[in-house]
Structure 1
Amino acid sequence: MSERKYEPANIEKKWQQHWENTGLHTTVESSDRPNYYCLEMFPYPSGRLHMGHVRNYSIGDLVARFKRMQGYNVLHPMGWDAFGMPAENAAIKNKSHPASWTYDNIAFMRNQQKEFGLTYDWNREITTCSPDYYKWTQWLFLLFYERGLAYKKKGAVNWCPECSTVLANEQVEEGKCWRCGTEVVKKDLEQWYLRITDYAERLLTDLDKLSEWPERVKTMQRNWIGKSTGTEVIFGIDGHEGSLKVFTTRPDTLYGVTYLVLAPEHPEIARITADSPKRDEIRQFIEEVRKKSEIERTAADAEKIGLFTGEYAIHPKTGDRVPIWIANYVLPDYGTGAVMGVPAHDERDFEFAKKYDLPIKVVIQPADEQLEVPLKAAYTGEGVLVDSAQFNGLQNLDAIEKISADLEQERKGERTVSYRLRDWLISRQRYWGCPIPIVYCEQCGTVPVPKDQLPVLLPEKVEFEAVGKSPLATNESFVNTTCPSCGGEAVRETDTMDTFIDSSWYYIRYASAKLETAPFDTETVNRWLPVDKYIGGIEHAVLHLLYSRFFTKVLHDAGLVNFEEPFESLFTLGMVTKDGAKMSKSKGNVVSPEDIVSKYGADTARTYVLFAAPPDRDLEWSDQGVEGAYRFLGRVWRLAEAHSEMFANRPAANHSQGAAKKLWQQTHFAIKKVTEDYGDRFQFNTAISAIMELVNSIYAYPEDADAGTKLDAIETVLLLLSPIAPHITEELWQILGNQESIHLQKWPTFDPAALVQDEIEYVVQVNGKVRDRIIVSKDATRDEIKVLALAQEKVKELVEGNDIKKFIVVPGKLVNIVVA
């Protein structure tokens, strides 16, 4: 019989078609098996998969296949995060429609995913730009609105004076409009928000429940939420009614305040400077600062720029007049948008005070020395209060509580908690997004669209280049409507929703993806969720994951789900790089998945991306590494194919002694190692190494040794490798005479008896330095170990003629001989 060659192109298409025809990957809703939900973050349909996608999906596919073989009923779906600005930009550039561009890309990328043999249940596919999905996105928006969590307020947006239109942050390039190059300004417009700050504390504290999330991700979310416990101090305004509330975490430094700083956006600035001769200068300064992003304004190395308003605040304890400044580094939504300037005890304030020649007043002295005045740097350590009235002599940490209590008693302050997290701005002034289901009526005001009238459909015809209008606002039949409340004339909201809304609940929709009467079936969702394993990039650690957690908590509070966290276990993978940089077209270092599949096959690509590096670390692409993965699969093919006829008359295994016993032990060690690496450790590279070692052992197995043991080992290789390389293992499984799919087999279990070693290797040290190794029976006595160790030539040379002071045996590990 001639040897069959390994030809990936033929076998991979064959099995992909077979799996699809037989519904191998279709999830059974009702099953006596325990449910397991495996999910990779769904992609934006940009047109082509890249190797980062391949790595992500290969990991998820491995987990899904492994869990099925372990006896779980697995849900493993896929869909498309299909709304967004790139489609709109492409439409403008190519004179096409965003829907056409998007659906063409989806078709191409879906085909790519199928070429990799991914086990998705395509019956559950979702597309966020499809009306049967965004109808329910609108339904959920109305749920938030009903619960007081969606509201409209005036907020700052990027505005292009030339185009007379709002720009998303991504459309601002170096402070200028991406279309016309005009300098962008900030403008206040009415926009929609979700009240995520109502959930700030729960989002923070519930991170402690996520024991299977990377600590790095939880730290990033904690920092983003940014909880600060402090005191709001009330300063009067000299010559004006009202007051300024200033949030501080350091009330112990209150007597060291020499100025206040307001965010340029602070609402009190316009009022208190209305009659000021500096008002034009102030207005111009504010406009300049607001052109900068928050990141630019608050970066550690950013220059601190300020302007004195000419107005003064009144210190609540001393009555002193304190100058009021405006500065770029203070943001409107952190705390109260106003901060105390205490330059003697804050590095940023010290830098600002030195730059503008402001007073620096020491109010904390270290216990063991006196600070040298003038200060060369801010003193931020602990100490005792000085020049602080009745609080002099207190330790500063004790003074925090006492000064706060004193302010509360005098009604000049209040202890409070502040968060860096701000309410989620969801309005987007673009076409390709989910319409916000709100209408405006002169009689009734803001009116939600009734749920039985959803979806509010995107019109097909809009003008993308219309100056001064949102694209949706160009379609009069969309804009002009009837008020659902009074039946009179009304207009629709023309903003669309942030696409993070779409991805904040998609994982729930998969559980009942085709349901037409509700966004999801609660009973079904509660059976499948939370997601058991969620896999994706670290770049989504904050926004997507935070928003998804927020959505889940709202749905829980509304009684729609019985869980509060969406993802039980989270795995964040590293990037795929080439020549030391992330793959990108601009760098010219992109490796095409299609080219790899065409030349080597999908199984080779999958094996390589899972073997080349631990999955949580970056993978540096190597063409030689791909060749190596291909050669390994070729060795597996030849090994199984060469022994195929033996499987027809398979002899019983006898592994009681000799080479057979050793191979039996190696086989079960590999089962244990691979099972733990796939399941608990998520270390696929070391799992593949264990399979490679077993393959090497089978090749080295003596021809005259027990054949049954060898065939058992070959079968084990195919079973262990099947979640990684599903096509080649399916083909070889059939060649070996099996009728049922390898992916429906029970996952192999190891025999604990096989892991019990008859012999143990001991390291032999002399005075703590390794000199040799010995192999002894696991039952050897201390005296037997001593005799064998002293008999080694390298040990003899060092021991003979010297007194042995100690002979130490660490059972199962080492011997240490201590000589004079």
Structure 2
Amino acid sequence: MYNHTKIEKKWQKIWDKTNAFKTTDKNDKKFYVLDMFPYPSASGLHVGHPEGYTATDIIARYKRLNGFDVLHPIGWDAFGLPAEQYALNTGNHPADFTQKNINSFKKQLKSLGMSFDWDKEIDTTDPKFYKWTQWIFKKLYENNLAEIKEIDVNWCEGLGTVLANEEVITDENGNKVSERGNFPVIKKPMRQWVLKITEYAEKLLEGLERVDFPESLKSLQENWIGKSEGYTLKFQLENSNKYIEIFTTRIDTIFGASFLVIAPEHEIINSIEKNKELVEFLEYSKTISERDRVSGLKDKVGVYTGINAVHPITKKIIPIWTSNYVLNSYGTGAVMAVPSEDERDLEFAKKYNLEIINIIQRQDNKNILINSDAFSFLELDKAKQKIVEFLRYKNIARKTISYKLRDWIFSRQRYWGEPFPVYFDENDNVYLEENIVELPYMENIKPSKTGESPLANNSNWLHFEKNGKKYRRETNTMPQWAGSSWYFLAYILKNADGTYIDIDSKEAYKRFEKWLPVDLYIGGQEHAVGHLIYSRFWHKFLYDIKILPIDEPFVKVVNQGMILGTDGQKMSKSKGNVINPDDIVNELGADTLRVYEMFMGPLTDTKEWNTDTIKGIRKWLDRVEVIISKFAENKTLIKVEEKNNEFTSLWQLTIKEVTDAIEKLKFNIAISKLMVFVNGLYKLNFIFSLEPLKDFLIMLSLFAPHISEELLEKIDEKQIKDHTWPQFNENLIINNLLKIPVQVNGKIRAIIDKEENDSEETLFAKALEEKNVVKYIENKVIKKKIYVKDKIIIINI
């Protein structure tokens, strides 16, 4: 059993000393592999974090060995609400413990053998970093994409700040609360900085067609942007010359409109007399998050407003209701309800006993209109055309494109964030700072009762004079998403001496041409409609002002699956099922943790932690150390004349299959092939060369770098950084025979031979006949059988 602590510390020191992972600039072959950078919390890493980091590390190591210039950086998303709340609760200053947490995270990542280029390390709280966050904001302002508006915001008294829609949830009692801390949230009008992301809605949608994102992630972004092509129609109010405008994508169903529904926030609500029932409903609606309203509410409730509209064609009087299933931020905040053709409208109509008018009938395999006056008995497409012509002629309809996407509320009433580079004169005119505005150090960072940021209490920083005139600074700070919207560019700008080159310089553009776009980005899907949309927006803007050479930041995004506790539940302190990676590294080694997390299953799947299986991985690494050491330490076991065609074929096939699996991010398959090779190695009494061992260790080094370096040294080979990825010779592979590992409940239990013409059924039959497989499945129900062609058989019981 090898001493993992000694070996891992040894090689981590060597890697630091030899700059093993320094970003190179040698050729045109480049690969930028990126992790969603972590927020450095006091609790440190849990075993879910290394999954994504190990995956990117494997690819970074693989690309370096294939001759690529590789950029594999890491940094810290260190501003934001969590740090501020922790500071308020403990009496610590966020600047102090944030740096302490960063040091802790860095130590943990180094202990896992991650091949980050630490010269590229960034920290969003570093003024050298947020100087350029402020520069980008100023450019947004100069291009009319940033402005101050009086808007309804999500105000959280408990946190003392405005929250974005994505930061508000509904609790088990149906109340609107903050995602962090579960504090009550209400709607409140406030003056806020807003970024006009809606100006980029179409570009954000179009760009999704050109990137390799998971379909589920694309759908989340498409739904969040929520593009709809339809018509805006005017419905005149009863006994009034005023109109209410509604948006519809189904103008052909206008004759089925039996009532209108408006959002509780619709402007017309302010102009009508409200009874007790309506007042109570409007108060209730403030407790429902927009996130829930967008995703669809189970219980659609509403109140009659007391006013009516006139149908624009039939002149029929129809009631106007308000309900929680209509958003003021989508379309016009008002819809015509057609219960016969819309499930939400039908549910609402049945609940409140409202009229349902059938308007579509199936005749001769065609959908035709009925109960639609002169348009009855026309096919839907023809009817739509005629209705549009009629309503346009009457100046009642106009073609409209609508989006659910709202402009980005960019102000936060808190201390711990990037300051805005703006100031105001006594008439509230806005001026841009020429230089960086640094966040002042303040002991008292409690939220103010007025809703202003704690910075409002710092009068020395807040007020200043310039050329005899009095000015005041902006007291709000930027949201945490500000730094994460461009941090992947900061890695490119960062120099080894800790400085940044100017983002608008010729040198920066040259570097961007070299490294952009990010070739592989791995992180959680929870960032799909926050960070990933915001960063695409900023990137496209910087492209438009000619700072960047391309308009999409990320070529390929992969969402890693979640690692659950041994109880099958999401890890949390409250459940007591959190597993600390430090404990695993101390007991079993970093290499064991890395290999285990990649062997658990496909990278994108949710997986359950299994203590027995990880111990099995450690035993396998011990076997690797024993067999390699056997041949390394006894040169009489190396006989050049002992050529073995079957082993040669296995050697070459392993290179081929591991290479293919790595390219496809099928790391569990790659490991299973390495296991097959080791089993073949154990069958040998002699070996004709150390070459197969060298190639095996180079491949293993992606997953278990420390033990691989140690064993390469043992067979008198160079450090990994000085090697290249092994190449296979197809002619040496015996094509009619493949070795297929059989996995039972996550462990390899047997290896079967696959003949060229073996069917899937034949392979399962062979697997189930293996003695070591029978041993584990006997008298048990097989729940799942999976065959990954030419790769592996998976049996779960």
Q: Give the TM-score normalised by structure 2.
A: 0.87
Letter in 2 for 1:721: L
Matched, 1:755 2:755: no
SS of residue in 2 equivalent to 1:201: helix
Hey, what does 2:29 align to over in structure 1?
34
Instruction: Deviation per CA, 1:94-124: give whole Å up to 9, x if none.
Output: 1011111211110101000011111111111
Q: Measure the CA separation in 1 of the matches of 2:520 and 2:32.
A: 7
Q: Measure the CA separation in 1 of the matches of 2:558 and 2:381.
A: 40
SS of residue in 2 equivalent to 1:119: coil
Matched, 1:667 2:651: yes
Letter in 2 for 1:453: N
Matched, 1:720 2:721: no
Hey, what does 1:510 align to over in structure 2?
491
Give yes or no for contact 2:37–2:76 (8 Å, CA) kept in 1. yes
Q: Measure the CA separation in 2 of the matches of 1:770 and 1:668.
A: 23
Cα 1:240–1:189, aligned 2, differ >3 Å: closer, same or farther?
A: farther
Matched, 1:629 2:589: no
Hey, what does 2:583 align to over in structure 1?
595
Cα 1:478–1:283, aligned 2, differ >3 Å: closer, same or farther?
A: farther
Hey, what does 2:527 align to over in structure 1?
540
Cα 1:146–1:487, aligned 2, differ >3 Å: closer, same or farther?
A: farther
* Deviation for aligned residue 1:163: 9.6
Cα 1:67–1:110, aligned 2, differ >3 Å: closer, same or farther?
A: same
* Deviation for aligned residue 1:159: 3.9
Give yes or no for contact 1:530–1:566 (8 Å, CA) kept in 2. yes
Hey, what does 2:127 align to over in structure 1?
131
Hey, what does 2:562 align to over in structure 1?
575
Q: Measure the CA separation in 2 of the matches of 1:31 and 1:216.
A: 37
SS of residue in 2 equivalent to 1:490: strand
Give yes or no for contact 1:430–1:495 (8 Å, CA) kept in 2. yes
Hey, what does 1:367 align to over in structure 2?
363
Work out which of the two has the higher radius of gyration on C-alpha atoms and give 1 or 2.
Answer: 1
SS of residue in 2 equivalent to 1:311: strand
Picking from 40, 45, 53, the partner of 1:45 is 40
* Deviation for aligned residue 1:720: 1.1
Q: Give the TM-score normalised by structure 1.
A: 0.85
SS of residue in 2 equivalent to 1:234: strand
Hey, what does 2:721 align to over in structure 1?
743
Matched, 1:209 2:205: no
Give yes or no for contact 2:305–2:320 (8 Å, CA) kept in 1. yes
Cα 1:685–1:206, aligned 2, differ >3 Å: closer, same or farther?
A: same
* Deviation for aligned residue 1:128: 0.7
Picking from 96, 100, 106, the partner of 1:100 is 96
Picking from 576, 595, 598, the partner of 1:610 is 598
* Deviation for aligned residue 1:365: 2.6
Hey, what does 2:795 align to over in structure 1?
none
Hey, what does 1:246 align to over in structure 2?
246
Hey, what does 2:688 align to over in structure 1?
708
SS of residue in 2 equivalent to 1:344: coil
Picking from 469, 478, 495, the partner of 2:461 is 478
Q: Which moved more, 1:462-471 or 1:525-534?
A: 462-471
* Deviation for aligned residue 1:92: 0.7
* Deviation for aligned residue 1:608: 0.6
Matched, 1:399 2:383: yes
* Deviation for aligned residue 1:36: 1.1
Give yes or no for contact 2:447–2:453 (8 Å, CA) kept in 1. no
Give yes or no for contact 1:264–1:327 (8 Å, CA) kept in 2. yes
Q: Measure the CA separation in 2 of the matches of 1:708 and 1:163.
A: 69
Matched, 1:225 2:219: no
Letter in 2 for 1:498: P
Q: Measure the CA separation in 2 of the matches of 1:770 and 1:609.
A: 27
Letter in 1 for 2:534: Y
Q: Measure the CA separation in 1 of the matches of 2:109 and 2:764.
A: 54
Picking from 643, 661, 666, the partner of 1:677 is 661
Matched ranges for 1:129-528 at <5 A: 129-159=125-155, 174=171, 175=175, 184-210=185-211, 212-271=212-271, 273=272, 276=273, 278=274, 282-297=278-293, 300-367=296-363, 383-443=367-427, 445-450=428-433, 452-468=434-450, 469-482=452-465, 488-514=469-495, 515-516=499-500, 518-519=502-503, 521-528=508-515
Q: Measure the CA separation in 2 of the matches of 1:93 and 1:80.
A: 22
Give yes or no for contact 2:246–2:331 (8 Å, CA) kept in 1. yes
* Deviation for aligned residue 1:517: 5.2
SS of residue in 2 equivalent to 1:581: coil
Hey, what does 1:585 align to over in structure 2?
573
Instruction: Deviation per CA, 1:59-110: give whole Å up to 9, x if none.
Output: 1111111110011111110000111111111101110111112111101010
Q: Which moved more, 1:292-301 or 1:99-108?
A: 292-301
Q: Measure the CA separation in 1 of the matches of 2:249 and 2:517.
A: 37
Letter in 2 for 1:747: W
Please, which runs of 5 or more residues in structure 1 have no aligned partner?
370-381, 774-812, 814-820
Give yes or no for contact 2:169–2:177 (8 Å, CA) kept in 1. yes
* Deviation for aligned residue 1:584: 1.3
* Deviation for aligned residue 1:301: 4.8
Matched, 1:70 2:66: yes
Give yes or no for contact 1:68–1:744 (8 Å, CA) kept in 2. no
Instruction: Deviation per CA, 1:374-401: give whole Å up to 9, x if none.
Output: xxxxxxxx73212222211112233223
Give yes or no for contact 1:151–1:192 (8 Å, CA) kept in 2. yes
Q: Measure the CA separation in 1 of the matches of 2:29 and 2:618.
A: 36
Hey, what does 1:555 align to over in structure 2?
542
Instruction: Deviation per CA, 1:421-440: give whole Å up to 9, x if none.
Output: 22112221211111222222
Cα 1:18–1:184, aligned 2, differ >3 Å: closer, same or farther?
A: closer
Figure out how many residues of one structure are paired with residues of the other and give that number. 736
Q: Measure the CA separation in 2 of the matches of 1:771 and 1:21.
A: 50
Q: Measure the CA separation in 1 of the matches of 2:696 and 2:599.
A: 16
Give yes or no for contact 2:176–2:288 (8 Å, CA) kept in 1. no
What is the percentage of aligned positions where both structures have the same residue?
40
* Deviation for aligned residue 1:651: 5.8
Q: Measure the CA separation in 1 of the matches of 2:48 and 2:370.
A: 59
Picking from 689, 710, 716, the partner of 2:672 is 689
Please, which runs of 5 or more residues in structure 2 have no aligned partner?
738-753, 767-789, 791-797
Hey, what does 2:783 align to over in structure 1?
none
Q: Measure the CA separation in 2 of the matches of 1:770 and 1:158.
A: 59
SS of residue in 2 equivalent to 1:12: helix
Q: Measure the CA separation in 2 of the matches of 1:574 and 1:164.
A: 34
Hey, what does 1:794 align to over in structure 2?
none
Q: Measure the CA separation in 1 of the matches of 2:412 and 2:200.
A: 23
Q: Measure the CA separation in 2 of the matches of 1:279 and 1:764.
A: 77
SS of residue in 2 equivalent to 1:496: coil
Letter in 2 for 1:607: V
Instruction: Deviation per CA, 1:726-783: give whole Å up to 9, x if none.
Output: 1111111111112x31232010000011124377936699xx999999xxxxxxxxxx
Give yes or no for contact 1:428–1:496 (8 Å, CA) kept in 2. yes
Cα 1:752–1:165, aligned 2, differ >3 Å: closer, same or farther?
A: closer
Give yes or no for contact 1:677–1:687 (8 Å, CA) kept in 2. yes
Cα 1:488–1:650, aligned 2, differ >3 Å: closer, same or farther?
A: farther
Cα 1:176–1:412, aligned 2, differ >3 Å: closer, same or farther?
A: closer
